[in-house]
A and B are shown apart, each in its own frame.
Chain A
Amino acid sequence: MTGSFIHPALIMIIGALLVPFIRGPLRKPYLILIPLLTLGAVISNNSLNGSLATFQFMDWQLVFGRVDKLSSVFASIMALMALIGTLYGMHVEKTSEHIAAWFYVAGSLGTIYAGDYLTVFLFWEMMAFSSVFLIWFRKGPQSLKAGYRYLIIHTFGGVVLLFGIMLRYQAVGDIEFSLLDVRNPELYTWLIMAGFALNAAVVPLHSWLPDAYSEASFNGAVFMCAITSKTAVYTLARSCAGMDILVLLGVIMALYGVIYAIMENDIRKLLAWSIVSQVGYMVAGVGIGTELAINGAVAHAVVNVLFKSLLFMGAGSVLYMTGKTKFTELGGLYKKMPATFFLTLIGCLSISAAPFLAAYVSKGMIIGAGFETHLNWASWLLMLAATGTFIYNGVKLPYFLFFGKNNCSEETWEKAADPTWNMIAAMVFGSALCIYVGSAPGVLYSMLPYAVHYDPFTAYHLAETLQLLGFAALIFFLLVKYMEPVDRLSLDLDWFYRKGGLFFLWIAKNPLEWFDTAWSEVYRVVGLRSVMSTAKFWSWFDWNAIDGVVDGLARTVRGIGGRLRVLQFGQIQYSLYFAASFAAVILIAYILLQLS
């Protein structure tokens, strides 16, 4: 720690580690206390400025507390999100779920305050590896597989980011996390951008988001919808502001998300597609890169955390109470869940940029920045996407979930009711913030990175918005039969790696396994026998040929020795007899030879 900087991630991490030891009546107050302390630390840090909490690690200076307006506004909304999310899931008994969620928030706060790439990477991975548990903890039929896909994709993104960081260090010689030279991008610029873009769900690196968020636990999804993609927007705003390609990618995201959300049957997947679309605005704003655009991107990220978490809380309440998330299994729920309906509706109108609600004060900044920089095509297409947002989120979601045809089974209808008091309280809190920010954006604007010269409350903006929403609603009800949700899955780009994975598995389990088995059999039948025969031959050759030469002498010597030994074993008188007889024969032969 340096100065009075208190790292809020540290509070969340220590708080998370202590959760298992806090039991009984102290548990719920403790669950609120830690996010409150975290929020307090962030508010306290907001008065600071500069690179704080620095540490020397080998040749590098690690900065854990880079405080400026950009980091302060993102840290503030993430800390607030920790409070709302924890309040929403306060009744959850599973300790590990709270631990995972808090480590996840800590990862986000650590990334936001990081002043160097090494620290960014550390907390970046903490986010990925803690959030995956929020998917697995649902224990749904698809959660395990979705979690593994999420982890693999994020590990891949992490490797891309790390590769970019290493190449940049090699080229530049420092690890400072700052604005890249986006006008003259090097390979490392693209890699770092791609690493961040994957977490921002930039098309075509987006498929993990609807796949994972729709499978997360009811309260885990509330954290997930707010944290990963918005932290990624922060990193893009910090490092890639003004990178032209992001304008195009952002616009594609905004429209791509709209089309898929219109087709979607699962309410949480619809909201996940909505994240892709809304983050598209932020990415486009970062790409435009002017002060107004960056302000717009940051403001939209902040309000997005508020209304998106509110919407996921509404959808999570339906899941928690009924166990269902499909339009084709729900409908007409306003009678059974009136409070949930009303609060979710505020979220629906907030995301649609309805007057005096959250997105009304932010979306226009990005679109206006596009027009000001003569990127008219981008602004027109973002307006098109804004119309779509109202269609799927402002009308389709509340209409088919709370009104429309009642598709509930008897059991689902029996279960349906407004959720626990803490879940309602969290939604009331989120709704109040959506109304407050949308009606009085002064506090939000004062926190933005640049001075704000934008007034959302002009008569023209009001007329523009009312026309757009009013006539889009008209066409919705005229074409409502074409909007009727169907129980179908919409194929996306994850088809390639999901089918690719199945194909790889099939290759491994079929041709490769068959070949392996066949090869083993061939080896057993042909290889093993021939090897054994060869071995026997060489054994024989060794014994009879090689050893025969060497050992043959020994065996001969041994044989002679044995025979001699037999002789030696004879009685002494026989030996003397033979010896004397032999000597006598020799002597007689010699005498006869001399006489002749």
Chain B
Amino acid sequence: MIKFIEYLQTRMKTVIMVCIVLLVCIAAFAAAVDKSHAHTWVEQNIPFFWSIFGFCAAAALIGIARWFGKAGIQVPDDYYDHSIWLDDSDK
């Protein structure tokens, strides 16, 4: 398995191309599939709806998490070891 992974790593452009072709195939499959049992109007009427949803949702979540972290949620790893309320004997 290690050799196979290394083989793929040496041909990254081909791997990327295969992945893109796969995505196109998935989209084509999604366009062809019967949507009559879909739960909502948007699923039935917007082409490639879940492709767009997956793309936008992932981008939004990554963006929100990054903004959230930068907004002060992410702090140094030893944050709780340094506090004005902590004496040296407590560390």
Contact = CB atoms under 8 A, between A and B. Distances in A.
Contacts of A13: none
Most buried by B among A260, A474, A487, A499: A474
B17 interface: no
B26 A466 contact: yes
A262 B59 CA distance: 12
Interface string B41-81: 00100001111111101111110111011001111110110
B73 to A, nearest CB: 5
A569 interface: no
Nearest to B74: A488
Interface stretch (A163-171, A502-510, A529-537): A502-510
B3 to A, nearest CB: 10
Interface stretch (A77-85, A94-102, A334-342): A334-342
A388 interface: yes
Interface stretch (A236-244, A376-384, A514-522): A376-384
Given A259-B61, A263-B73, A387-B61, A502 B54 contact: no
Contacts of B83: 499, 502
A368 interface: yes
Interface string A469-500: 11110111001001100111111000000110
A148 interface: no
B67 to A, nearest CB: 10
Contact of B1 (A338, A488, A498): A338
B5 A334 contact: yes
Given A379-B39, A468-B50, A506 B73 contact: no
A420 interface: no
Contacts of B86: 502, 505-506
A150 B7 CA distance: 47
Given A467-B30, A470-B26, A472-B55, A460 B74 contact: no
A371 interface: yes
Nearest to B36: A460
Interface string A448-479: 00000000001110111011111110111001
Given A383-B53, A470-B26, A488 B58 contact: no
B69 A490 contact: yes
A391 interface: yes
B66 A491 contact: no
B1 A490 contact: no
Of A379, A459, A469, the most chain B CB neighbours within 10 A belong to A459
26 contacts: A259-B64, A263-B69, A368-B39, A371-B40, A376-B40, A387-B53, A388-B58, A458-B37, A463-B30, A464-B50, A466-B29, A467-B53, A468-B53, A471-B51, A472-B54, A472-B55, A472-B58, A475-B62, A482-B62, A483-B62, A489-B77, A499-B83, A502-B86, A505-B85, A506-B85, A506-B87
CB-based closest 4 A-B pairs: A506-B85, A371-B39, A467-B50, A471-B54
